Chains A and B, each alone.
Chain A
Amino acid sequence: MLALTANAGKPVLLVVDDSPAIHRLLSVKLRDEGLEFLTAYQGEEGLELAEAHQPALILLDVNMPGIDGFETLRRLKSHPETIEIPVIMLSGDDAPEQKVMCFELGATDFVTKPFDVSELRARIQSALRIRTLLIMLAQRAQVDGLTGLYNRAAFDTTVANEVARSIEEGEPLTLVMSDLDRFKRLNDTFGHQAGDAAIASFAQVMANEVRSYDFACRYGGEEFALILPGTAQEEATVLCERIRREVEQLSWAKYPEMSTTASFGMTNRAKDPATPDDPRSWVEAADDALYMAKENGRNRIERFGGDGTDLDDTLPVRLAG
């Protein structure tokens, strides 16, 4: 359930050019660049291949019969599926207006034909390097550094999407807020590094227990959130109970005296019935349940709307919407 995934396989390069002589030349001259080639002879064909194969980079000829390179570029940059793919324009014309137009339409770079092969290679590698960095940056922006779980920013986006989707599709959704019990005391007793270790271990238990379609995130400090799509409260309770028991049994070689427990609060609806689709109101409901779990002795799971004395004594699962 870690958000960072390795980038497997060779990067795919899509070449869109009406001249077979150019395709042949490129496939030989670029064969040591570690790329896989896709070939299109027309703009329309290039658009289809770009959408279907999501290449890492596109080389796009400006002057082509049918829809030309400018129009192809414009369409690439107006579709969400292809907007992020970097495009290097190839043109036999080096008029500044033409270059400016390409950059305005969203091209990454511009190379004039006839091209110098070593320059083209360098520009391709540069475009691929920038793409890799951008992907890393986008992933980092979503991931918590200590735990590798999603961070708060990713949570805010996901909870809003999942609440909306659950209401639209009439599918159940459970939101869980959870935190480590007496975390301040643990920090004071064993030190902040021990506290970090406890947080990291708690996160690891969560990451191991959730299913591929669940969303686990570090909400802040020692507080975590689980977004469980398509999951009613009974099922969510089973999942949280597994996590709770594992946390209880955690131990650390470096801090043999240390142990910890976690409390959980869950909800399947917004706190305020007037705003069933407000994600903040969902978080408030789960927080209320978490507060109840703390009040009732910690190391336990409570549901929003339950009376807090017995887990089985709760509202029936209510389908959202």
Chain B
Amino acid sequence: MPDPTEPNATPLRSEFADDPDMAELIELFVAEMPDRVSELHRSLESGDIDQLESIAHQLKGACGGYGFEVIGHAAAALEQVVRSGERDVSALRSEVESLVTLCSRAIA
């Protein structure tokens, strides 16, 4: 029985998981997630806010098309906070963490 308080416990499947056209695309997209997660962590630790914004922007644009709308929304939220002028890394931590959590849950 997975622990419901542990976010990694529930895998997040693409809404298009049953579309045979999309299977291979989604697999590739999910396979790239660990890289995006570590890039998000690295940017957060080094305080590279522009890079955070850029990753968030790309995820916002692409996730919907791959059937991960929830991740897209989290990415949009992070982009929104950065664009509102927040330059303090610690204030961005919670948005980055929720995005990272969702990205880590994605499965093909």
* Interface, chain A (partner B; CB < 8 A): 18-19, 21-22, 24-25, 28-29, 61, 63, 65, 90, 92, 113-115, 117
List, in ascending order, chain B residues with CB within 8 A of A28's CB: 21-22, 25
Is the CB–CB distance between B22 and A114 below 8 Å?
no
Q: Which of A61, A63, A115 gathers most chain B CB within 10 Å?
A: A63
* Interface, chain B (partner A; CB < 8 A): 21-22, 25, 28-29, 32, 54, 57-58, 60-66, 69, 72, 76, 79
Is the CB–CB distance between B60 and A92 below 8 Å?
yes
Q: Which of A28, A65, A92, A113 gathers most chain B CB within 10 Å?
A: A92
Closest chain A CB from B1 CB (angstroms): 34
Known: A65-B54, A114-B69, A114-B72. A21 touches B22 (CB 8 A): no
Is the CB–CB distance between B57 and A63 below 8 Å?
yes
List, in ascending order, chain A residues with CB within 8 A of B22's CB: 28
Q: Name the CB-closest residue of B to A27.
A: B25
List, in ascending order, chain B residues with CB within 8 A of A115's CB: 64-65
Pick from A19, A24, A65, A117: contact of B61, CB under 8 Å = A19
Known: A28-B21, A114-B72. A22 touches B57 (CB 8 A): no
17 contacts between A and B (CB under 8 A): A19-B58, A21-B65, A22-B62, A24-B28, A25-B25, A25-B62, A25-B65, A25-B66, A61-B61, A92-B57, A92-B61, A92-B79, A113-B60, A114-B60, A114-B62, A114-B69, A115-B65
How far, in whole Å, are A167 and B62 apart by their CA atoms in the complex? 57
Is the CB–CB distance between B25 and A113 below 8 Å?
no
Pick from B21, B65, B79: contact of A114, CB under 8 Å = B65
How far, in whole Å, are A29 and B22 apart by their CA atoms in the complex? 9
List, in ascending order, chain A residues with CB within 8 A of B79's CB: 92
Closest chain A CB from B31 CB (angstroms): 11
List, in ascending order, chain B residues with CB within 8 A of A61's CB: 61
